[in-house]
Copies of this chain bind each other. A is one copy, B any other.
Amino acid sequence: MDIKIKDVAKAANVSVATVSRVLNNSGVVTERTRLKVQEAIESMNYHPNATAKFLRSKKTMMIGVIVSDINVSYYAEIVKGIENMAYSREYKVIICDAHNQKEEELGYLELLLNRTVDAMILVSMTGSISDELIGELADKGYNIGVVGKCIDHAGVPCIFTDNVKFSMNVVHHFIEQGHRSIAFLSGYPDALDSYERLEGYMKALREHRLPFRQELIENGDFNEKGGYHAFLRLIGKGLPFTAVYSANDEMALGVYRACAEMGITIPKDLAIVGVDNNRISRYITPRLSTVDQPKYAMGALITEKLIDQMNENQFKEQRVFKVDSELLVRESSRFAK
């Protein structure tokens, strides 16, 4: 059906090896021969079969990206960074959206094992893919990169931000603004991000010798709706608090909605800070204070490292990258009560 390398070789009066050489710019070919071959390729409209090339060369130039939910803007931004860097290095990316199902995440690993992709980037913190598993795979020679946490295993590039640190900054900021009773809205409890942000929250309270009260903690799910309900439960307890640290912006949007319904004015009655610098945070009124993580850059960097490592066939000098996140103070937390 399609025209193949053999046909081109025949037409150009050379061997398939020569055609392959000009296609891949490998080996040496006379300028005259090259021209002859290129002409044949052109005129016959030849497109080398990529699947045959994959098999033979043992490379697909594809990278898989496993995310738990591409609808979450945090993940989407990281993926954009990955995609762009991959593109500039001539790699394609396959999005593996787990639709929030842990089993799906594991299933996508098959693409790595069966050689559909040359490497896999994990951008998902649900823990369905354990550190041990990642380590084992890396030992077997599979290329894996991790965004959002640190894996203690040679050859696995990792990039993440310091959740504890920026969470402490958020609490410091609240305290500076005069708040003393600060609630914390967590994401789903088993997420590493939830845990570390809570840790930072507690640590900052301790530093300021402020009491930690379990009742001021509620679990959401990192979504608008979950934030809404979690906040309602918080209010329902009847405890006084004047500020809320929401583990991400999505949930903060839920808090905005609940406040609107209950006649609570932000920031006069309640100050709030989120995490992610979701685009909406800049457009909502009052603008939401938030923590900006360099999502795009993180995606780009991990991809670059992973590709370098694959091609240089040796571990990169630096394997673990901890990047800083910045607290953006906007109107939602600017005026102390």
Contacts and interface: CB of A to CB of B under 8 A. Distances in A.
A47 B97 contact: no
Contact of A71 (B54, B80, B93): B80
Interface string A69-81: 0110000100010
13 contacts: A49-B55, A51-B60, A70-B80, A70-B83, A76-B76, A83-B95, A83-B97, A84-B99, A92-B111, A92-B116, A280-B283, A283-B284, A285-B285
Interface string A43-68: 00001111110110010101000000
Contacts of A47: 110, 113-115
Interface string A112-126: 011110000000000
Contact of A52 (B55, B84, B94, B253): B55
A87 B97 contact: yes
A279 interface: yes
A253 B283 contact: yes
Copies in the complex: 2
Interface of A: 1-2, 47-52, 54-55, 58, 60, 62, 70-71, 76, 80, 83-84, 87, 92-97, 99, 110-111, 113-116, 141, 253, 279-280, 283-285
A-B pairs, 8 with minimum CB distance:
A51-B54, A47-B113, A50-B114, A50-B116, A51-B55, A285-B285, A47-B114, A283-B284
B284 A114 contact: no
B92 A93 contact: no
Given A93-B94, A283-B253, A48 B99 contact: no
Contacts of A84: 97, 99
A80 B97 CA distance: 9
B48 A114 contact: yes
Given A49-B55, A84-B97, A285-B285, 13 more contacts: A47-B115, A49-B115, A50-B116, A51-B60, A52-B55, A54-B55, A62-B94, A92-B96, A93-B94, A93-B95, A253-B283, A283-B283, A284-B285
Contact of A280 (B60, B96, B280): B280
A187 to B, nearest CB: 20
A51 B92 contact: no
Nearest to A97: B83
